[in-house]
Structure formats: C-alpha cells, structure tokens
Amino acid sequence: MTKKTIADWQALAEKELKRPADSLVWNTPEGIPVKPLYTADDLAGIGHLDSLPGFSPFTRGPRATMYAGRPWTIRQYAGFSTAEESNAFYRKALLAGQQGVSVAFDLATHRGYDSDHPRVEGDVGKAGVAIDSVEDMKILFDGIPLEAISVSMTMNGAVIPILANFIVTGEEQGVSRDKLSGTIQNDILKEFMVRNTYIYPPEPSMRIIADIIEYTAKEMPKFNSISISGYHMQEAGATLVQELAFTLADGREYVRAAIAKGLNVDDFAGRLSFFFAIGMNFFMEAAKLRAARLLWTRIMQEFEPKKASSLMLRTHCQTSGVSLAEQDPYNNIVRTAFEAMSAVLGGTQSLHTNSFDEAIALPTEFSARIARNTQLILQHETGVTKVVDPLAGSYYVESLTSELAEKAWALIEEVESLGGMTKAVDDGLPKRLIEEAATRRQAAVDRAEEVIVGVNKYRLENEAPIDILQIDNSAVRISQVKRLEQTKRQRDPHAVENALTRLTEVARTGQGNLLEAAVEAARARATVGEISDAMRRVFGDHVATPEVVHDIYGKAYQGDPEMEILSGRLNDYSKVSGKPRVLVAKLGQDGHDRGAKVIASAFGDIGFDVVAGPLFQTPDEAADLAIAQKVNVVGMSSLAAGHKTLAPQLVEALKAKGADHIIVVVGGVIPRQDYDFLIEHGVSAVFGPGTNVMDAARAVLDLLEGRLKNS
C-alpha cells in the first residue's frame, strides 16, 4: 500500500469540504492555532517526549504509578452557615466516599472580621462557614479525626488566625501539630490580581507567607504550607496561558521569599502545592497540567535543590465555576463530568467537582452527591485509573503541551523583566491582561461566537425551577454573635491582651514568627478579628484603586447593527437628559469582581458614563458615592449570596438621603426565586448569570427612558 502524505490528506479534505482545509484551523483565546490534523511531524523538536512518570521533568506525572497505584483524592470544597451545619455536611460526605475535607470560609472570616462587625452584616455564613474563634473551629471538626483526615483550607487574607485556630483545635483534639496533614491556600499574590480577599498590603502579606512556610517546615512536616492558585485567575477570565504563567511566577516568588527567610529550599519545596481550574477546553486543560509540571521543574532547578521531590509540581484541581450556567442547569452535570475527566487525564493529585446548582446558589445535599459520585464513577467505572498518563504520545496533546509551555514561559519571562511577580502585581500587568481576556470572552459569548448550550444556543423556552439551598443570614449571625460573646466572657482577658500585644510586637519588629505568636493568642481565645487587628495596627489595610479596561467589548461589536441601534438610542437620550451615568457597585466583603469589571468595561464601550465603585462598600457608602457622582443608576454586583440583605439596604439608604430617583438594578449569582423579593424591596431589574450584556444595557436604557417619560 502506498504511504499517504499530508498533501494527500489535504486534497481529500478539500474535496470533502469544497473549501481550503486551512479554513478548519481554530485560534484559541491563548493565540494557539489548532489544526484539524496532527501527525508525528508535529512532535519534531519536542524535548519531553522520552520522559517517564515519576522522573524529572514529571510531564507524565509526579508519581511513577500515578492512579494505577492510588487514585487521586476526592476532596470536595464545602462550608456554609454555622460550624455545626458544616460539620454535619462533612461527616456525611466522608461516610459517602469523600477522602478529605476542604473548607470554604465565609467572606467575613476571609477579610479578618468577627461576625459582630458592622461591615459584615450581609456576609456572615454566606458562601462559606463563619469562624470567629477556636470554639467554632472545634465544632467544625468535631468527630473528624484530624490525625487521619487531611484538611484543605481556602484562606489567604486571614490565613494567620485561621491556621493558628486549626493548630490549637488539633491540640485540643489530642493531635499534635506534627501529625496534622492538609493544605492552607496562603496565596496572597493572586488575591491582589483577581479574588481580592486580601487584608494587608503586598509587602507584609509576603512576610506572612514566609513566616507560615518557616513555621510549617519546622513544626508541621505533613502539612502543605501554600497552595499556589491559578484557579481564581481562570475564573476571573484568564486564558490558560495566563493562568499557567502567573501561577508559576507566583510560586517562584514564594520560593524566593522563603529562601530570603533563611530556609533551605529542600526543607520546604516538597510541601508546596498548586491549584488549577479545569474548564471546557478538554485536551488543552489536560495539556496545561502536563506543561505546568514541565515548567515548574525548570523554575525549581534555578534554586539547585538536592532532592528530586523539590522539583515536583503537585496539584489540586477544581472544575470551573464560570462554565456553569444558570439556564438549563442540569447541563452543568455533563460539563463537570467532562472537566473532571480532563483533570484526571492531566494527572491531578486531588479534585473537587462542582455541583450543578452552583451558578445559582450554594449546593444542596442532592447536587453535592451527584458531584461527588461523578468522581467515584470516574475512579471505579471508566478504567482511567488503569494506565499512567494515557494521553502520552498523542500528536495533538504533546504538541499542545509544548505550545502552552512555550507561550507561558514567554509570559513568565516578561514578569521577570519587571522584577518578579510582586513588582508585576504592583504594575498591574496581570490584572490588566486578565480583565482584557475576560471582556473579550464575554463579547464572544454575547455574540454567540462561543456557544454555550442552553444559554446562547438551544435555549429552552420554559425552565422548571430547581430546589436551592437558602441560608438565613440573620439567624447565622445571631448564633455566631452569641457564641462570640460567650467565648469572651469565659476567657482570661489578661492572657488575651498579653498574647495580642506580643503579636503586634512581632509584626512591628520583625523579630519572631507571626504564626507562632498567633497560636499563643488563639490558645488564649483571641478571636479571628482580634488577631487580624493586632497585625492591622502595624501593617494597615490594602486599598485598591478600581480601574476598567476599554475598547475591548466595543471593538467586538464594531459595525454591528445591534450596537448601532443601541448607540442611537443612547444619543437620543443624552440630547435630552445628558449622558446616562451608572455606578457599578460591589457591596459587602465579596471581592470577586469579574462580573462588575466586565459590566463596567462593556457599558463604557457601549456609551454609558461609568463609575467603577471600590470594593467592600457598605450600602450607606455606596449611596453616598452615587449621590456625590450624580449617577442615574446603581448597578449592584453580587456573587456571594448577600443580595437579599444588601440590596434592600442600598435602596433604603438612597431613599433616606433623598435620592430615591436613582434607579437600582442588581446582577450576578442570584436565584430566580429571589427576583420577586428584590423587586418588592425597590430593585428595578435583576440580571442573573448568563445575561447578555447588550440585553442588560437595553434594559437599563428602557428604565431610564421610562423614568424620563413619567417625570
């Protein structure tokens, strides 16, 4: 048989297509051209192809036997309401096959506030569990043997008091700190880029990280001192190249900080871990994890470690929250299953699978069981655990691995040219690039250039409501405040004062370890807020200046009739009443600002005059800003379930200040069951997940025109 060539294939393809075969090339958001056909020729010059799992550069996996020897850990991220309710949820999950506990804290805790603080009224017990002291932490892990169960904690801002409380909880459960296993996220650089649950400025925050790495290296040999996270970058809109590059650049910065503290690289490098998002680009996500291991080995070789384990990237993964849709939500079960399979084929060490209802509310027990069972089915029914790195040698996957590594390395080198990741964060480079990518993707979804089944194509005319988990925020706060008051009554006030004074002194002088001092304060029953404030007195608070990208969304709609019609309407309105002015507001302690930034950027390109409000405002502060800026509309962005508390308070604050002429609209992760409540409490329109930005702009203009007509 005569050997067929690429030219033969191209001729046959063009005969089938009746157009050039090159028309099938797809350019990914990362700028990688994906061809319809890959062959052995595409592997020429790729250096990692002869590697084996368990050996440097670990492209094929950090362990020699991978899942053939032991499957990945099923580690579901959860936490809500009170410590009692979260504890019951964890214990049921462990009995049902979950293999580790992963704790979600509420936003008040993340930001270092106790539940009785006036700034967190809408945040307590929402989007995570409320923890105010060791007493809460003891309840959270009651009946969960900490010597046997590893615990992952997503905590960055208030990482010192939370880890201190965990250590003391272990002690009082009879488990010494050297027996505790698990991971603390402790990744503050990405907070300044995307997630925004920071407390202190970058420099003291980096000191906190170094102190935690030092303490755990000496005292907690089974505990991972940091989980360097790209997850929140992708969720904020980063491309896979950006997620890969900025995550590894963060890791390099943390290693440097620990070495500057006087630590030997081999004393801590083996306990560093990573955390990546897994989205819907199936093969590229698997290739991303392979490229991450390859590049991390390259980075760590700079520090000349003696142990092979110091070169090894180990990672937890979570399926994408952004890929979940409110519309036709059972489709999310399928999305999560594909993403989970991609993570597994990429070689993750542990995995969280999202519940199908998480685009709407916190997961119910029903949806959480489906998410957990998705992993159990993968482990026990699909056969993927039988072979190490089953995608190895794939022309396409190996080519993608190499392409991603090359592009990510170029971006890592750009970060280095700025002086490293801390300098790059100060310069705003990562944040700017990620926000541009997010806005670009939103335009592609709105124009249906990127198809989301059930959202912008194949949409159901009528959707049946689904059951959701509702948290009574007021009841949780009352319960927390009651236990907080009891804890303060029963503790020794002098011991607390002495411990907090010592912590402040360590912060001020740099002499001693912050975590070690905080453990003493936690033993004395100092609260999360008190421990955070003891360091705030020296470090201060980080305050970000909101900035919005321009000419991304508008460029995607250039020459589009839909945009021209809307622009014409805006011009007509402006001639009569002036250019409409919109405040995009973030209330409460929710720092997730992807949606707010995309709306601010897109509305600005469409032709509105946009004021981007600062993070962490109270309703009263937002009302004052709206009045001072003479806006026509306040658009409140809510992703953390505080809308039923905060939106009515905003409406009332505007009314009390004589500004009830200002229209209030709310957008974000809002269950349809809550729409009527918000409308009844003075909100003029609600825009749920997946709302087309152009539709939202038209609706806001409708409200303005209606107000003008009736005035």
Q: What phi, psi does 561 have (nearest 5°)?
A: -60, -35
Say whether 544 sits in a helix, a strand or coil.
coil
Question: DSSP character for 154?
Answer: E
- 624: tokens are 């004052």
Which one-letter amino acid corresponds to residue 389?
Answer: D
Strand pairing of 609-612 and 581-586?
parallel
| Strand arrangement of the beta sheet that strand 100-104 belongs to | 223-224, 182-184, 151-154, 100-104, 73-78, 350-352, 315-319, 272-278, 226-229
Query: Would you state the pLDDT for residue 265?
Result: 96
- 178 is an active site residue: no
Query: Would you state the pLDDT for residue 433?
Result: 95
d(CA 678, CA 458): 29
pLDDT, tens digit (0-9, with 9 covering 90-100), for 598-614: 999 999 999 999 999 99
E-only strand ranges, 296-406: 315-319, 350-352
Q: Which of 67, 90, 113, 231 is an active site residue? A: 231
- 496: tokens are 């607390």
Q: Which of 110, 592, 597, 643 is an active site residue? A: 592
Euclidean distance between the first and final Cα of the chain, in Å?
83
Which one-letter amino acid corresponds to residue 318?
Answer: Q
- 232 is an active site residue: yes
Q: Which of 431, 586, 597, 643 is an active site residue? A: 586
Instruction: Please count the CA atoms within 13 angstroms of the CA of 158 that sit on its side-chain side.
Output: 28
Q: Which residues pair with 315 in a beta bridge?
A: 274
Say whether 605 sits in a helix, a strand or coil.
helix
Please check whether residue 140 is in contact with residue 103, taking contact to mean a CB–CB distance below 8 angstroms.
yes
Please check whether residue 639 is in contact with residue 592, taking contact to mean a CB–CB distance below 8 angstroms.
yes
d(CA 425, CA 149): 36
- 386 is an active site residue: no
Which one-letter amino acid corresponds to residue 391?
Answer: L
Q: Which residues pair with 154 in a beta bridge?
A: 104
- 43: tokens are 């592997």
Q: Which residues pair with 152 in a beta bridge?
A: 102, 183
Which one-letter amino acid corresponds to residue 629?
Answer: Q
Say whether 407 sits in a helix, a strand or coil.
helix
d(CA 306, CA 48): 22
Q: Give the position of tokens 């979600």.
A: 104
Query: Would you state the pLDDT for residue 2?
Result: 67
d(CA 654, CA 682): 11
Q: Which of 232, 316, 597, 644 is an active site residue? A: 232
Instruction: Please count the CA atoms within 13 angstroms of the CA of 423 that sit on its side-chain side.
Output: 8
Please check whether residue 300 is in contact with residue 244, taking contact to mean a CB–CB distance below 8 angstroms.
no
Q: Give the position of tokens 């001020």.
A: 508
Under-50 pLDDT residues of the chain: 1
Nearest residue to 607 (alpha-carbon basis) of 575, 644, 646, 642: 575
Strand pairing of 223-224 and 182-184?
parallel
d(CA 502, CA 48): 51
Please check whether residue 83 is in contact with residue 144, taking contact to mean a CB–CB distance below 8 angstroms.
no
Query: Would you state the pLDDT for residue 1?
Result: 43
Exposed, middle or buried by CB within 10 Å (0-12, 13-18, 19+), for 219?
middle
Q: Which of 590, 593, 605, 674 is an active site residue? A: 590
Q: Which of 38, 77, 396, 675 is an active site residue? A: 77
Exposed, middle or buried by CB within 10 Å (0-12, 13-18, 19+), for 559?
exposed
Strand pairing of 33-34 and 26-27?
antiparallel
d(CA 526, CA 528): 7
Query: Would you state the pLDDT for residue 122?
Result: 84
Say whether 342 sits in a helix, a strand or coil.
helix
Query: Would you state the pLDDT for residue 467?
Result: 81
Name the pTM for this structure.
Answer: 0.91
- 77 is an active site residue: yes
Q: Give the position of tokens 């907070």.
A: 191
Strand pairing of 73-78 and 100-104?
parallel
- 384: tokens are 């993927």
Alpha helices for 585-660 (secondary structure H)? 594-606, 619-628, 643-656
Element (H, E) at 570: helix 561-577
Mean of pLDDT over the chain: 93
Rg of the chain over Cα atoms, rounded to whole angstroms, equals 26
Please check whether residue 137 is in contact with residue 79, taking contact to mean a CB–CB distance below 8 angstroms.
no
